[in-house]
Amino acid sequence: MTGFRLPPLVVDYNQLWLEAELRGGGDGRGWARRSTGLLLSRPQWASARTRKGERKLIALLEQAAVIARKQQDASMGLILIPSPEEGIEGMAAFCPVDLAGYGGEEAWEELLEQLAPEVPGDYPREIIPMETKAGPCRRLRLRYAEGQGPERTLGEHIGYPWVFEEYEAAVMMTVTFPDPLQAVRWLPALDELARGVWLQQ
């Protein structure tokens, strides 16, 4: 990892998202209380501005803090939490990747192989090029099945990798949805989030 430098990535996000606390001392309760105040200041959270609603939200965010801190490789995490009725829909994790020794198209191929290896089966991966403020990106979608037999549960992985050759690094934004319909619903919000990623000069 001699040449690896963390790209100075900045993510502009809207009121669907809440930045997770991935590091730090404590058990996440302080972050949960601060974040509860932030969410309740948003217009779509007006119905939760009761003592019961506040307690419920703090408990939910304390659970989210535990899950977020398990993302050992992530440099940033954004929780998709649109409204009191919907709660937490997922988390976008931004993970840096060492690309020393790779360049050009080979770097993209290495990244896509890490995100979703191409294996024969019922669910081929879908790769679509995108332009973002941080430069070229590729959106990858891959459905997966859990369990055995015809009643297997379907889910979907969605990933957005960027290659930054000047840093000999890449960054991958990944989200997993346990239901493909959920993935379809939130895909425009994920595309918007990816397009708002930029590099601080």
Asked whether the predicted pLDDT for residue 4 surpasses 90, the reply is no
Backbone angles phi, psi at 138, to 5 degrees: -130, 130
CA-closest candidate to residue 140, choices 121, 117, 163, 122: 117
Predicted TM-score (pTM) of this structure: 0.91
Per-residue confidence at 18, pLDDT binned at 50, 70, 90? Answer: very high
State what percent of residues in the chain have pLDDT above 70. Answer: 93
CA 74-142-69 angle, 5° bins: 20
Report yes or no: 100 and 175 within 8 Å, Cβ to Cβ. Answer: no
User: What's the farthest any 2 CA atoms get from each other in the chain?
Assistant: 55
Residue whose structure tokens are 């990535």: 9
Mean pLDDT, the chain, whole residue set: 90
Asked whether the predicted pLDDT for residue 72 surpasses 50, the reply is yes
Per residue in 79-131, pLDDT tens? 999 999 999 999 999 999 998 888 888 888 888 887 777 666 667 889 999 99
